[in-house]
């Protein structure tokens, strides 16, 4: 492959991931170009960039998904490469192809690989051809009647899934034949709305699986390697909220077999750059290919913490035409990530946009906070309410758990409600602490995790009281609570809608 030096990167994204890419650009002496919508004019990724250009408008379709506006910025700024981050255009083969046609280096895989792995049933077929075991399933089905016939062969329960889907959208679990017809049509409508493609297929439902993924890197010279696993089983409505590495269920033999399968899967689709192979692992430690994410993964930092590899730096070097190094990779310690959202767990997890009045991020040994916000920033209503990714590292899982619990307690954010108290309850749950969990953990313990504790003594520390006095009539806040009493100052404030810790 012809080597091409990247001198300026346009980051076609926003929020924390744009800031994350900018930091590696600065480490490498590469200029970064930010794009921003009207609501993001004062966003952190705009402040961190070497240059920033507006994408007039508010909705994603007229801003971050508008390819012509992005290419116009690339032309005006003189950028010679594009990093898509995750979401938005990151897994759009047409965008990757258009970058190449315009002479821009697309920092990601070839458009053909994105296209192949983005269509779930084609990806399953290719994996089967490559000898990677897949969950029993079907090709896209035309009618509910076809689905009923296939479900009888597979056996209930089944999952109906969008052929072009991901992120839990266009997915329904069906327990009985009479539920299949309505669920089939609902999935088709949701798939059409979310992906512009109403094709759906059936997949055998695996009870109590672990969701384990392998990070892979592949250069253009045929070298492909994996950077070990991440366990992403703590999910709410198929959305990951806590990830860790190594997986609590992993053995050396299982890691070797799954890693080899991940590398084989990547090679089978002609993959280059960074990607993630996702598997389901059943109670007997049998594993099945689920899907491939052809982009940088949200939870990539925990892999960086245990391997010491800057995955974004590797993405850029591979895109320039460099060979992967021959170093033998190893894992050191354990790492965990919690996704901090501006949402109210005690009000159906509704988003909580608004102004951040005060913000103090946690620190100390082994703590990293990848954020896209700051004190004074207004969280917009137009986009995903992710505030930051809180990542911790420890020499042992016990140390990592202790650090995560401490970091969540230190996290001070005033002005909007967040899911921090909810995350803290998960991290401190006895079964999670033992590593005894699967993808149904949230469902199994939902009432317990959301239960208001009425038996705690109603005491407010002087510090919390001072914050309340400072707040006056502000409507939302998240502050750390005492580890011993876990008392929320909301109990003393008498404000409706406030949640317990």
**Pairing of β 239-245 and β 334-341:** antiparallel
Q: Quick one: pLDDT at residue 193?
A: 87
Q: Is 203 exposed, middle or buried (0-12, 13-18, 19+ CB in 10 A)?
A: buried
Distance CA 459, CA 457 (A): 6
Q: Quick one: pLDDT at residue 475?
A: 42
Strand partners, 355: 378
The proportion of the chain whose per-residue pLDDT surpasses 90, expressed as a percent, equals 82
What does pTM read for this prediction? 0.86
Q: Quick one: pLDDT at residue 199?
A: 93
Report pLDDT digits (tens) over 355-374: 999 999 999 999 999 999 99
Q: Quick one: pLDDT at residue 462?
A: 34
Alpha helices in 171-284 (DSSP H): 177-195, 252-268
Band of residue 167 on the pLDDT scale cut at 50, 70, 90: low
Report pLDDT digits (tens) over 477-493: 444 433 333 333 333 33
- Nearest by Cα to 426 from 247, 246, 240: 240
pLDDT higher than 70, residue 473: no
Average pLDDT over residues 115-139: 93
pLDDT higher than 60, residue 464: no
Domains, the chain, with CATH or none: 8-107 (3.40.50.20), 108-135+207-332 (3.30.470.20), 136-204 (3.30.1490.20), 452-493 (no CATH)
Band of residue 189 on the pLDDT scale cut at 50, 70, 90: very high
Average pLDDT over residues 14-43: 98
Band of residue 140 on the pLDDT scale cut at 50, 70, 90: very high
- Please enumerate in sequence order all residues whose Cβ is within 8 A of that of 408, keeping only pairs 6 or more positions apart, or say none: 338, 362, 390, 420, 423, 424, 427, 480
Residue 277 three-state SS: strand
Number of H helices, E strands in the chain: 17, 23
Distance CA 16, CA 386 (A): 8
**Pairing of β 105-106 and β 81-83:** parallel
Tokens linked to 347 = 């009000």
Report pLDDT digits (tens) over 266-297: 999 999 999 999 999 998 999 999 999 999 99
Query: 170 with 244: CB under 8 angstroms?
Result: no
Average pLDDT over residues 132-152: 93
Active site residue 295: yes
Which of the pair, 86 or 494, is modelled with greater confidence? 86
Average pLDDT over residues 440-449: 96
Average pLDDT over residues 36-51: 98
- Please enumerate in sequence order all residues whose Cβ is within 8 A of that of 180, keeping only pairs 6 or more positions apart, or say none: 144, 147, 148, 151, 158, 160, 174
Distance CA 249, CA 300 (A): 20
Average pLDDT, the chain: 90
Band of residue 219 on the pLDDT scale cut at 50, 70, 90: very high
Average pLDDT over residues 340-364: 96
Number of CB atoms found within 10 A of residue 78's CB:
12
Query: 180 with 188: CB under 8 angstroms?
Result: no
Q: Quick one: pLDDT at residue 501?
A: 28
Q: Quick one: pLDDT at residue 1?
A: 61
Lowest-confidence region among 133-137, 176-180, 327-331:
327-331
Q: Quick one: pLDDT at residue 478?
A: 45
Which of the pair, 286 or 463, is modelled with greater confidence? 286
Q: Quick one: pLDDT at residue 440?
A: 95
pLDDT higher than 60, residue 317: yes
Catalytic residue among 124, 199, 255, 295: 295
Average pLDDT over residues 441-445: 96
Band of residue 240 on the pLDDT scale cut at 50, 70, 90: very high
Q: Quick one: pLDDT at residue 453?
A: 57
């Amino acid at each position: 492959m012809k080597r091409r030096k990247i001198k300026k990167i346009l980051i076609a994204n926003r929020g924390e991931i744009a800031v994350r890419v900018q930091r590696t650009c600065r480490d490498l002496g590469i200029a970064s170009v930010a794009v921003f919508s009207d609501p993001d004019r004062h966003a952190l990724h705009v402040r961190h960039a070497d240059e920033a250009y507006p994408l007039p408008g508010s909705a994603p379709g007229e801003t971050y998904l508008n390819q012509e506006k992005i290419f116009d910025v690339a032309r005006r700024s003189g950028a010679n490469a594009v990093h898509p981050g995750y979401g938005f255009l990151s897994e759009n083969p047409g965008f990757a192809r258009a970058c190449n046609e315009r002479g821009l280096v697309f920092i990601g895989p070839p458009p053909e690989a994105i296209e192949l792995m983005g269509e779930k049933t084609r990806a399953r077929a290719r994996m089967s051809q490559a000898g990677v075991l897949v969950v029993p399933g079907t090709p896209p089905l035309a009618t509910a009647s076809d689905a009923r016939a296939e479900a009888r062969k597979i056996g209930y329960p089944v999952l109906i899934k969008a052929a072009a889907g991901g992120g839990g959208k266009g997915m329904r679990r069906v327990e009985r034949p009479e539920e299949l017809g309505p669920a089939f049509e609902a999935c088709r409508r949701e798939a059409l709305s979310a992906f512009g493609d109403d094709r759906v297929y059936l997949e055998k439902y695996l009870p109590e699986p672990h969701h384990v993924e392998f990070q892979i890197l592949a250069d253009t010279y045929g070298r492909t390697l994996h950077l070990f696993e991440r366990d992403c089983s703590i999910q709410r409505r198929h959305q990951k909220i806590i990830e860790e590495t190594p997986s609590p269920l992993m053995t050396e033999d299982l890691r070797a077999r799954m890693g080899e399968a991940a590398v084989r899967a990547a090679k089978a689709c002609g993959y280059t750059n960074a990607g993630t192979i996702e598997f389901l692992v059943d109670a007997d430690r049998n594993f099945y290919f689920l899907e491939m994410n052809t982009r940088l993964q949200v939870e990539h930092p925990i892999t960086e913490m245990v391997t010491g590899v800057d995955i974004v730096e590797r993405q850029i070097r591979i895109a320039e035409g460099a060979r992967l190094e021959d170093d033998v990779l190893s894992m050191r310690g354990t790492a965990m990530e919690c996704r901090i959202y501006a949402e109210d767990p005690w009000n159906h997890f509704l988003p909580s946009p608004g102004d951040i009045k005060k913000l103090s991020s946690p620190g100390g040994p082994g703590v990293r906070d990848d954020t896209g916000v700051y004190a004074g920033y207004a969280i917009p209503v137009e986009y995903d309410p992710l505030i930051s990714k809180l990542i911790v590292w420890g020499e042992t899982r016990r140390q990592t758990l202790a650090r995560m619990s401490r970091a969540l307690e230190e996290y001070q954010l005033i002005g909007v409600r967040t899911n921090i108290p909810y995350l803290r309850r998960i991290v401190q749950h006895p079964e999670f602490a033992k590593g005894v969990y699967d993808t149904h953990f949230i469902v199994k313990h939902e009432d317990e995790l959301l239960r208001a504790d009425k038996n705690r003594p109603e005491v407010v520390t002087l510090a919390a009281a001072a914050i309340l006095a400072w707040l006056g009539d502000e409507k939302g806040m998240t502050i750390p609570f005492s580890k011993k009493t876990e008392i929320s100052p909301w109990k003393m404030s008498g404000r409706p809608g406030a949640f317990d810790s």
